[in-house]
C-alpha cells in the first residue's frame, strides 16, 4: 500500500510538471503565430517577439531539466527549442530592419 501511494504521488507530480511544460510550449507556439498578423504594427510585433524569449528559454530549460534529472535519453526537444530561439532572434532583427527601411522611405517622400 505504501509503495502504491508513493508511486501515485510521483505520477501526480510528473503530470503536474508535464502540464506546466505543455503550457509553456503552447505559449511559445501561439505567441509567434499572433505576431505574424501584426505586420502593420511593427513596434508591437517586436515587443511581442521579445516577450516570446522568456517562454522559449523556460521551455528549453525545462526540457533540459526533465532529460537530466529523470535520466531519460536526450530527445530532440531542447534542440528544437534552441532552434526556435535562434529563429525568434532572426525574426526580431528582420522586423527591425524592415522598420528602418520604412522610416527611410518616409524621409525620402
pLDDT of the residue at 59: 81
pLDDT of the residue at 3: 46
pTM over the 0.75 mark = no
pLDDT of the residue at 15: 62
Residues of the chain scoring pLDDT < 50: 1-8
pLDDT of the residue at 92: 92
pLDDT of the residue at 1: 45
DSSP 40-89: T-HHHHHHHHHHTHHHHHHHHHHHHHHHHHTTPPP-SHHHHHHHHHHHHH
pLDDT of the residue at 58: 84
pLDDT of the residue at 89: 92
pLDDT of the residue at 74: 63
Amino acid at each position: 500500500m505504501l509503495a502504491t501511494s508513493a508511486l501515485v504521488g510521483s505520477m501526480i507530480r510528473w503530470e503536474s510538471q508535464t502540464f506546466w511544460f505543455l503550457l509553456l510550449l503552447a505559449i511559445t507556439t501561439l505567441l509567434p503565430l499572433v505576431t505574424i498578423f501584426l505586420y502593420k504594427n511593427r513596434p508591437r510585433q517586436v515587443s511581442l517577439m521579445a516577450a516570446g524569449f522568456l517562454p522559449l528559454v523556460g521551455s528549453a530549460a525545462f526540457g533540459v531539466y526533465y532529460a537530466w534529472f529523470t535520466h531519460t535519453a536526450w530527445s530532440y526537444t531542447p534542440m528544437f527549442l534552441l532552434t526556435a530561439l535562434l529563429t525568434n532572434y532572426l525574426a526580431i532583427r528582420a522586423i527591425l530592419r524592415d522598420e528602418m527601411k520604412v522610416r527611410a522611405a518616409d524621409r525620402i517622400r
